[in-house]
Amino acid sequence: MFTTLFRLFRYGSQNFLRNSWLSAGTISILLLTLLVFQGLLIFRVLTAIGIDSLKSKIDISVYFKVETPEPAILAIRDRVETLDKVAEVEYVSRDKALELFKKKYENDPSVTSALAELKDNPLSAAVNIQAKNPNDYSEISTYLENQKEWQPFIEKITYRQNQLVIDRLAKIVDTTEKFGFILTFLLSLAAILVTFNTISLVIYSNREELGIMRLVGAPDSLIVGPYLVTSLIYSAIATLLSTILFYPLIKFSSPYLKFFLSSTDLESYYLSHLFSLMGFALLFGSVLTIVSALIATQKYLKI
């Protein structure tokens, strides 16, 4: 068995080296395909992190009238916490709201002086509600509005503007992902066609040698095997080159992405997941090239 494997790898390597220009062309197309493929994987990770980060910043804020007693607000908060679609409820008292307001505008003299002249706290208490799913906010808002016994206490119910940002971001992500999939699909077809033509030309150039192998009764595995090995060599080299070329792009863009996703270090993520990303790329490239090789050998070797 080891002797057979050795022969397969030797003949496959010979096919690769004998047709160096064809091999270079195949690897170039496959390299472009894997670069787009890896970029699509990284993009999906970044968009998932970005959307989750924005989701954590949106909520429904229920503002209460100034004269509303605190026990009534706490009772409403407790009722809201029991809803299945609610992930978290935060109560912000009037005193806490004033404290946060002062901290936010501590460097604005006009605001601090205006607050100093006021005898009473002008801010309302609020309950901030986070849903498990952004699509549930409208249902939660409707529920709050339909509780007639709460209406004398509630001043207003509002969404934060981040909801609009997330909806727009989701559309952008969806469009970009569709474009990425289409580009990957087209490059994959190109890689399959180029690999198919390369293997076909290699088979044609080795037709006399293959004929002799047929006459002496060589098994199909020994005839087809070297071309599958050649295909694996294509995908292995393309995977290595795509990783080498992709890393400088990651290193360059990582500092800029921190402005948008401060909690994410793209370079560290890429390095920590380097082998898994290479594994996905190698698997994807191997499937493309092996399928091409099998089609070519089936057609021209009549196996």
Q: What are the angstrom distances between the C-alpha of 117 and each of 113, 122, 217? A: 7, 12, 103
CB contact at 8 A, 89 and 56: no
Arithmetic mean of pLDDT, 166-180: 72
pLDDT one-digit tens code per residue, 107-143: 777 777 777 777 778 888 999 998 887 778 878 888 9
State whether 131 and 172 are in the same domain: no
The whole-angstrom separation of Cα 297 and Cα 200 is 8
Arithmetic mean of pLDDT, 149-167: 77
- In this prediction, residue 89 carries a pLDDT of 92
Arithmetic mean of pLDDT, 167-172: 70
State whether 155 and 254 are in the same domain: no
Please count the structural domains in the chain: 2
The residue from 159, 193, 214 where one domain ends is: 159
Question: In the chain, at which residue ranges do the beta strands (DSSP E only) sit?
Answer: 60-64, 86-92, 126-131, 154-159
Q: Is the pLDDT of residue 161 over 90?
A: no
Q: Give the confidence band of 76 by pLDDT, cuts at 50, 70, 90.
A: very high
State whether 110 and 154 are in the same domain: yes
Arithmetic mean of pLDDT, 141-155: 89
Look up the pTM and report it. 0.68
The whole-angstrom separation of Cα 44 and Cα 272 is 17
- In this prediction, residue 166 carries a pLDDT of 61
Q: Is the pLDDT of residue 234 over 90?
A: no
State whether 169 and 265 are in the same domain: yes
Arithmetic mean of pLDDT, 188-209: 74
pLDDT one-digit tens code per residue, 13-23: 777 777 777 77
What is the average pLDDT value for the chain, to the nearest integer?
80
Q: Is the pLDDT of residue 170 over 60?
A: yes
- Percent pLDDT > 90 in the chain is 13
Q: Is the pLDDT of residue 241 over 90?
A: yes
Arithmetic mean of pLDDT, 40-53: 77
State whether 146 and 170 are in the same domain: no
Q: To 10 degrees, the CA torsion angle through 281, 248, 41, 58?
A: 170
pLDDT one-digit tens code per residue, 247-268: 998 888 888 777 767 667 788 8
State whether 179 and 295 are in the same domain: yes
State whether 75 and 111 are in the same domain: yes
Q: Give the confidence band of 240 by pLDDT, cuts at 50, 70, 90.
A: very high
State whether 149 and 173 are in the same domain: no
State whether 45 and 82 are in the same domain: no
State whether 42 and 185 are in the same domain: yes
State whether 111 and 210 are in the same domain: no
Q: Is the pLDDT of residue 11 over 70?
A: no
The residue from 140, 159, 178 where one domain ends is: 159
Query: Domain containing 148: what range?
Result: 59-159
Number of Cβ within a 10 Å radius of residue 299: 13
- In this prediction, residue 72 carries a pLDDT of 92
State whether 197 and 242 are in the same domain: yes
